[in-house]
Amino acid sequence: MKPYLAAAIQMTSRPDLEKNLSEAEELIELAARKGAELIGLPENFAFLGKEEDKLAQAEEIAHRSEKFLKTMAQRFQITLLGGGFPVPVETNAQKAYNTALVIDKDGNEVARYRKVHLFDVNVPDGNTYLESNTVMAGEDFPSLYVSEDLGTIGLSICYDVRFPELYRYLSAKGADVICVPAAFTAYTGKDHWKPLLQARAIENTCYVMAPAQTGNHYARRYTHGHAMIIDPWGAILADAGESPGMAIAEINPSRLEQVRQQMPSLQHRVFDKY
């Protein structure tokens, strides 16, 4: 593993596939120009709209997203995380998997994850989310991408960040960088987003890369923004604020090793069998 720059991209995706992909392309190009070698797009980067519209277009979104990610990774010679897009379930026309993909710079798929924890929550601001209406829950642990250059990269999506056992799995598998691409609601995000991400970084002594959605997407759908990169001590290295853009910071193997020596909590686990 070598030191390198990672970029967590922040977007305001809308119910417009082509427009979202061209905005994503601009931000990827900007991140690559700044020297980022690992670039992450947020959950719903390709489409953020009403559930029924997403489902109706799921096949096209899935097809275009996969092709887009491969083209971008090769064109800019970067490793690219596509933070979450619908992939139709073959056996059930009413459902799609909320899928994250990692593509290496040769355009090969190196990791895939289907979101396990679905956001079925009545948020106290009056919005009701019922992700399981249109999304089929994944049943498998995320796969990890073991890269000689970039370290071991573990996947998760958005609401997963509230379930620390998933991240214990990733750290047990050797994760150095944990990805949490998200579309966190504005209401929950203001109190929960940052502390949850910092906790996952600190308790697993890992970098956290969290691309995000921000602003108003359609109707009353607002997201929190603050795409960020957090180091294994829990320090926020970069925060994209509330506008579209990116958080960019160095991932450094010496820093990882240093923190793991300074704070060897992972070696002191007692209840790790439960």
Ligand X SMILES: O=C(O)CNC(=O)[C@H](CS)NC(=O)CCC(=O)C(=O)O
- Catalytic position from the list 43, 70, 179, 206: 43
Min CB(256)–ligand X separation in Å: 27
Q: Which stretch binds ligand X (CB under 6 A): 40-48, 204-212, 240-248, 256-264?
A: 40-48
For ligand X, give the closer residue by CB, 173 or 192: 192
Residue 38, number of CB atoms within 10 A of its CB: 26
Asked if 44 interacts with ligand X (CB under 6 A), we say yes
Nearest-CB residue for ligand X? 188
Alpha-carbon gap, residue 122 to 20, rounded angstroms: 27
User: Tokens for 28?
Assistant: 């990827």
Min CB(216)–ligand X separation in Å: 11
List the x/- string, 212-241, binding to ligand X by CB under 6 A: ---------x-x------------------
Min CB(86)–ligand X separation in Å: 9
Binding ligand X (rule: CB under 6 A), the pick from 63, 67, 162, 190 is 162
Residues written for the chain: 274
43 is catalytic: yes
> DSSP string spanning 113-127?
EE--S--EEE-TTS-
206 is catalytic: no
> DSSP string spanning 156-217?
--GGGGG-HHHHHHHHHTT-SEEE--B--BHHHHHHHHHHHHHHHHHHHT-EEEE-EEEEEE
Asked if 129 interacts with ligand X (CB under 6 A), we say yes
User: Tokens for 87?
Assistant: 């992939």
Alpha-carbon gap, residue 76 to 79, rounded angstroms: 9
Alpha-carbon gap, residue 29 to 221, rounded angstroms: 27
Is residue 150 helix, strand or coil? coil
- Catalytic position from the list 66, 70, 158, 206: 158
Binding ligand X (rule: CB under 6 A), the pick from 155, 183, 247, 249 is 183
Asked if 131 interacts with ligand X (CB under 6 A), we say yes
Name the residues annotated as catalytic.
43, 115, 158
- Which chain residues interact with ligand X by CB under 6 A? 43-44, 48, 119, 129, 131, 158-159, 162, 183-185, 188, 192, 221, 223
